Amino acid sequence: MTEPVLSIQRLVKRFGGLTATDNLSLDVMPGELHALIGPNGAGKTTAIGQVMGEIAPDAGRILFMGQDITALSTPRRVRMGLSRTFQVTQLLDEETAEANVAMAVQARSGHSFRFWRDAGGDARLNAPARAALAQVGLAESRWPVRVSDLSHGERKQLELAVALATLPRLLLLDEPMAGLGASESLRMTEVLRGLKGQIPILLVEHDMDAVFALADRISVLVYGHCIAAGPPDVIRQDPQVRAAYLSEEEAV
């Protein structure tokens, strides 16, 4: 039987009287796009933060590629092949799009960020950086543009390119459609569709059109607790899910 790439087992995180993740368990299988959905405040971003090691769980454990990583630091997890994007993009605004990705390539190879300018003509950095930019569909004419001059949608594409440049074994995407217009959301959906099967993905997203178009499986989180998990058709028809979340989304 195929082992999961990621196994979250009975994860608990409390902030005072608030339980952000309540015995949360889910698996991400090789090549799978697993969506984690739920209302605002359901604990989705907290779950990703725990997987990345940015937030320490109060109980439970996290296995990655069969190894218990619950107590490992974020840098150790990144070196093992975990990579993530954020609701609010985390980029260097005064550098170009290409430079941001080249720095991710450089970090992957173990070199310090401060040397990237000296290696500006180094194909070992530029070739994989440009390949990642092309993979996310960012127009070539935008690669030499400073991040501060890119549109919001382009910044989202760029952040995904930065994540891909680290050659992740698992990609954690935190609301990649947030703030995008209809055409930009469709473009991002197509980019993610192209990644399916190549890299396992755990996707946190509020755009239900994108979720149901992309996900192999969906877990629904409400008040930190997973109320349902399964393929999209099952989740769409689940009365508990519709009452707790989907009916609210459809009314928007």
Structural domain ending residue among the three candidates 167, 185, 212: 167
CATH number at residue 228: 3.40.50.300
Q: What is the pTM of this model?
A: 0.90
| Together in a domain, 23 and 76 | yes
| Together in a domain, 54 and 96 | no
192 strand-pairing partners: none
For 234, the token pair is: 């099952």
Paired sense of beta strands 170-174 and 82-84, if any: parallel
Judged against a pLDDT cut of 90, whether residue 247 lies above it is answered with no
Q: Which helix (H) or strand (E) holds 11?
A: strand 6-15
| Together in a domain, 42 and 138 | no
The total number of residues written for the chain in this structure: 252
Place of tokens 């949360």: 24
Judged against a pLDDT cut of 60, whether residue 252 lies above it is answered with no
| Together in a domain, 220 and 242 | yes
| Together in a domain, 154 and 176 | no
| Together in a domain, 188 and 233 | yes
Question: What is the span of the domain harbouring residue 182?
Answer: 1-81+169-252
pLDDT digits (tens, 9 = 90+) for 196-214: 999 999 999 999 999 999 9
Distance, CA of 36 to CA of 218 (rounded, Å): 6
SS3 (DSSP) at 36: strand
Task: Report the number of distinct structural domains present in the chain.
Answer: 2
| Together in a domain, 185 and 247 | yes
